[in-house]
Amino acid sequence: MAGSAALTVLTIGGKDITAPAVAQDDACYMVNSSGKRVNLGKLCRGGMAQPAARGYFLARIKRRDGGTPVIDVTFNGNRTYEMLVDTGASGTLITRSMAQALNIPIVGAGRFTMADGRNIIMPVGRINSITVDGATVRNLNVAIANDSAEGLLGSDFLGNYDIKIKRDVVEFYPR
């Protein structure tokens, strides 16, 4: 198994119990006295350790769209949407229906250059907060696109964290 390492997980009666740990493993588990992994997902929020315990925030990749990760993102603390993690986008883009559901106030309009080079004008709204597993950025302006577009989590959020995109997760490290 490439990328595995022995990790001391638990000491019982002076005996260290170790198990292989892989970067993609669930963070919420224990190893019992016979060395078997026991999933503690029901005890941990979202099946993962709390960010304070691991030092970073973690988002599970739900799927990939053209190779780009899609993760759950929570807006204003109460609504969660699937968004593309777009490291090439300078800003975050939401759809009109998302903006309406979130009661996002329109604060203006902006000219945006799309990936294909087109320049388009879109309304701009103000979001109170964007959160991924506790990683939060407050008071962001976001572009509001037609509902045919996909939501993009851009560098205005991502740039506040050092990120690692792995096979099944995206890790957000506070700067």
Question: Which H or E run contains 101?
Answer: helix 96-101
> By the 8 A CB rule, do 5 and 21 touch?
yes
Task: Give the Cβ contact number of residue 60 at 10 Å.
Answer: 15
Task: Indicate whether 92 and 161 sit together in one domain.
Answer: yes
| Count of other CB atoms within 10 angstroms of residue 24 | 10
Average pLDDT of the residues in 30-48: 58
User: Per-residue pLDDT for 36 more than 50?
Assistant: yes
In a shared domain, residues 162 and 77: yes
pLDDT score, position 51:
52
Average pLDDT of the residues of the chain: 80
State whether 77 and 120 are in the same domain. yes
% residues pLDDT > 70 (the chain): 70
Q: Do 71 and 39 fall into the same domain?
A: no
- Domain coverage including residue 27: 5-49
Residues 70 and 43 in one domain: no
Q: 137: which 2 tokens?
A: 């950025």
Report the sign of the C-alpha dihedral through residues 50, 158, 85, 83, in that order: positive
Question: What is the amino acid identity at position 107?
Answer: V
Our count of domains for the chain comes to 2
96 and 12 housed in the same domain: no
Does residue 13 surpass a pLDDT of 50?
A: no
Residues 89 and 39 in one domain: no
Whether 153 and 78 map to the same domain: the answer is yes
Taking residues 40-54, what's their average pLDDT? Answer: 50
Same-domain pairing of 21 and 75: no
- The CATH code of the domain that includes 99 is 2.40.70.10
For residues 144 and 125, give the distance between their C-alpha atoms in angstroms, rounded to a whole number: 7
Q: Is 109 in the same domain as 168?
A: yes
Element (H, E) at 155: helix 155-158
Domain match, 66 and 35 both: no
pLDDT in tens, 76-120: 999 999 999 999 999 999 999 999 999 999 999 999 888 788 899
Residue type (1 letter), 141: N
Q: Do 154 and 77 have their domain in common?
A: yes
Q: In this predicted structure, what is the pLDDT of residue 15?
A: 40
**Banded pLDDT at 12 (limits 50, 70, 90):** very low
**Range among 21-35, 46-60, 86-100, 108-122 with highest mean pLDDT value:** 86-100
